[in-house]
Chain A
Amino acid sequence: MWWKSLFGIYMVLIILGAFLYAPVAKGLGETTRILFFHVPCAWIATLAFLVSAVYSILYLRKQKMIHDLKASSAAQIGLVFTILATITGSIWAKQIWHSYWNWDPRESSIFILLLIYAAYFALRSAVDEQNQKARLSAVYSIIAFVTVPFLIFVVPRIVESLHPDPLINPRGKVDMDSRMSTVFFGSFVGFTALFFWMLYLKIQIARLSQFKFKPGD
């Protein structure tokens, strides 16, 4: 498949660009380079959560197992990227803030996302019957999804954030060097493509191994 090799070359270019091409930001030094991997990871964590909620709604409407499979697969990949975003963020925090963890609002919100994913899988493992598992976890996913916007407003009320925000800032624009933003958005596109490819693979694997789908299902 030609596009797989193309995608591989693209990601290699992004990694090379992150380390060699992009300049460092003022005041952050070489730690800037984690930005090109940490922020896309956090983005995928959020995107996977959204995808999972959308397929949960679809499952409740259509009652087809394929939607539950997609919802849970998206959540599984989301969990991996949430952990990656947490770890990369924590390493960066140690360098800049001299502590791995200090409950900065951004650290709190990624931790809450981690809790929600963990609760989702705890619920899935506690229900045996397939349809019931799909139904209950779909409902939980939707309820968790409507909670998250509140946390965005609530969490910063505890402490002021020190987190640098090139994407979500009050002025709503990107303050970045043009070479930096090229690599940055390139990395976004690459990670998003990676997410959907992983999702596709997970669904194919599940289809082949445990689910016996009828043609129209």
Chain B
Amino acid sequence: MGKNAFMWATKSLIIFQKDVQLEFRTRFAINAIVLFAITTLTAISFSIGPARLETTILSALLWIILFFSAMSGLSHIFVREEEQQTADTLRLVTTPLSIFLGKWLFNVVLLFALEIIIVPLYFILMNTSQSAGNNFLLFLLLLFWGSLGLATVSTIIAAIISQASARGALFAVLAFPISLPVLISSIHGTRLALEGNTFSECLPDLQILIAFFVVILTVSILTFEFIWKSN
């Protein structure tokens, strides 16, 4: 019993491991997402020049970069299975739950890896590193929960669009209305954190981010079976 109960977790880890190995063979998703983020960041940095931005614009730009970078790379995880026609084999091998969790874990790790590169770069290029009075720990907390929400939405929408035609254009269109709660609370919370507000002032935003993440993950797990099932 104890062994069976954790079978799905083991299987998810195996799927995750498989995707990591495949990723390091081609490095497609990581290249796409990191280069996209750096290109956007450079474009913004060039266009504003040496001007110092207000925290309102600063937090909005950061999350817009993160959102569109996620849109550029996170769909690959499911689209690849369809393009290389490995989806059917995967359907035979294991349960939908472990496939979804494995792929979700991969997207979460990928998004965090992107943020480790892009967030320090963003603050260096935007000339904010020396500005005093920001609550950095709180910012990291918001970044963590916001990214979890964003990665979860991206994973379930990626599963949907991998079955449809016109995938690239459709991904952002479908994901945007669903990610809006994440984007709005993250942008609002990030602004508060950059202005040096305390934890309790950011609490409503954090609560929304955590609640949204839990709800969307649950709904995704419940509905993924229907997306994944072939005719």
| A146 contacts partner chain B, Cβ-Cβ < 8 Å | yes
- Of chain A, the residue at the smallest CB distance from B164 is A126
Query: A140 vs B175: C-alpha distance in the bound complex, in angstroms?
Result: 10
- Of chain B, the residue at the smallest CB distance from A139 is B223
In the complex, the answer to whether B226 meets A147 with C-beta atoms within 8 Å is no
Chain A 175-216: CB-based contact to B (< 8 A → 1; otherwise 0) = 000000000000000000000000000000000000000000
| A129 contacts partner chain B, Cβ-Cβ < 8 Å | yes
| B129 contacts partner chain A, Cβ-Cβ < 8 Å | no
Which of A116, A123, A154: most chain B Cβ within 10 A?
Answer: A154
Chain A residues near B157: list those with CB within 8 A: 143
Chain B residues near A115: list those with CB within 8 A: 176-177
- Pick from B156, B160, B165, B184: contact of A154, CB below 8 A: B184
In the complex, the answer to whether B174 meets A123 with C-beta atoms within 8 Å is yes
A136 and B164 in contact, given A60-B223, A150-B208 (Cβ under 8 angstroms): yes
In the complex, the answer to whether A135 meets B227 with C-beta atoms within 8 Å is yes
- Of chain A, the residue at the smallest CB distance from B188 is A157
In the complex, the answer to whether A123 meets B164 with C-beta atoms within 8 Å is yes
In the complex, the answer to whether A122 meets B219 with C-beta atoms within 8 Å is no
Chain B residues near A136: list those with CB within 8 A: 160, 163-164, 227
Chain B 134-160: CB-based contact to A (< 8 A → 1; otherwise 0) = 000000000000000000000011001
| A162 contacts partner chain B, Cβ-Cβ < 8 Å | no
Chain B 165-192: CB-based contact to A (< 8 A → 1; otherwise 0) = 1100010011011101100110010000
In the complex, the answer to whether A126 meets B166 with C-beta atoms within 8 Å is yes
In the complex, the answer to whether B163 meets A138 with C-beta atoms within 8 Å is no
List CB contacts (< 8 Å) of B197-231 with chain A: 204-205, 208, 211-212, 215-216, 219-220, 223, 226-227, 229, 231
A184 nearest CB across to chain B (Å)? 30
Chain A residues near B229: list those with CB within 8 A: 135
B156 nearest CB across to chain A (Å)? 6
Query: A116 vs B175: C-alpha distance in the bound complex, in angstroms?
Result: 10
B11 nearest CB across to chain A (Å)? 22
B7 nearest CB across to chain A (Å)? 25
Chain B residues near A142: list those with CB within 8 A: 219, 223
- Of chain B, the residue at the smallest CB distance from A118 is B173
B164 nearest CB across to chain A (Å)? 4
Query: A129 vs B229: C-alpha distance in the bound complex, in angstroms?
Result: 14
| A127 contacts partner chain B, Cβ-Cβ < 8 Å | yes
- Pick from B160, B215, B219, B223: contact of A123, CB below 8 A: B160
Chain A residues near B188: list those with CB within 8 A: 157-158
Query: A132 vs B162: C-alpha distance in the bound complex, in angstroms?
Result: 12
In the complex, the answer to whether B227 meets A127 with C-beta atoms within 8 Å is no
- Pick from B165, B185, B205, B211: contact of A126, CB below 8 A: B165
Query: What are the 3 closest A-B residue pairs judged by CB atoms, nearest first?
Result: A150-B181, A126-B164, A115-B177
Q: List 5 A-B contacts (CB under 8 A).
A: A136-B227, A142-B219, A143-B178, A151-B180, A154-B181
